[in-house]
Amino acid sequence: MENIVAIIVLVLIVILLISTGIKIYNRLVMLHSNTEKAYANIDVLLKQRADELPELLKIVKGYMKYEDGLLTKLVELRTAFLNATKEEDKVKTYNALSSGLAKMMAVAENYPDLKATDSFMALRTRVSELEDHISDRRELFNESITNYNIGIKEFPAVLLSKPLGYREKTLLQISAAEKQYDGIEF
C-alpha cells in the first residue's frame, strides 16, 4: 500500500512539473513572438517612410540645388535601410535616416517657394504622420521587449529560458540627435 501511495505522489509531482514546464515554455514563446510582432509593426512603417522618401527628394531636389550632398546621403541611407536584413542594422540606419530627414526639413526652411508647394506640404504631412506612428510603435516595441526580458529572468522561467536559447533583447534607444531635435518649423 505504501508503494502505491508513493508512486501516486511521484506521478502527481512529475505531472505537475511537466505541466509547469509546458506553461513556462508557452509563455516564453508568446513573449518572444510579441517582440517580433512589435518590431515587424515598426518595420512596416519604416518601409512606408522609405517608400515616401524618393517622392519627397524629387520635389525638394529642384529647389535645393546646393544641398546635393544631403540629398545623396538620404538616398544612400534609404537604400541601406531597404537592403538591411538584421534588426540592429535597420534600427541603426533608421536613426541615421531620421536625422538626415530632419536636416533636410530644416534646410527646406531656406526655400520659401518649396515650402509653399502643395506636393511638398502633402508629403511633409505624410512623413510627419508616419513619424508619429513610428513613435507609438517604438513605445509598444519597448514595452514588449521589457516584458520579454522580465519573463526570461523570472523564476522558474529562467531555468528553461537559458537552455532554450532565450537571450535578453535590447530596447530601441533614442539617439543623441533625436534628443536634441527641437522640431521643424515651416
pLDDT at 62: 65
Could you tell me which of 1, 123, 131 has the C-alpha nearest to residue 59? 123
Query: Using one digit for the tens of pLDDT, what is the confidence trace for 13-24?
Result: 999 999 999 999
Q: Give CA–CA dist 74/102, Å, rounded.
A: 11
Q: Is 154 helix (H, G, I), strand (E, B) or coil?
A: coil
Decide if pLDDT at 139 tops 70.
yes
Higher local confidence (pLDDT), 62 or 83: 83
- 27 CB burial (10 A radius; 0-12, 13-18, 19+): middle
- Res 185: pLDDT: 44
**Per-residue pLDDT tens over the stretch 89-108:** 777 787 777 777 777 777 77
Q: What percent of the chain has pLDDT over 70?
A: 82
Q: Is the pLDDT of residue 186 over 50?
A: no
180 CB neighbour count, 10 Å cutoff = 8
If you search the block for the grid coordinates 513619424, which residue do you land on? 131
Residue 96: per-residue pLDDT: 79
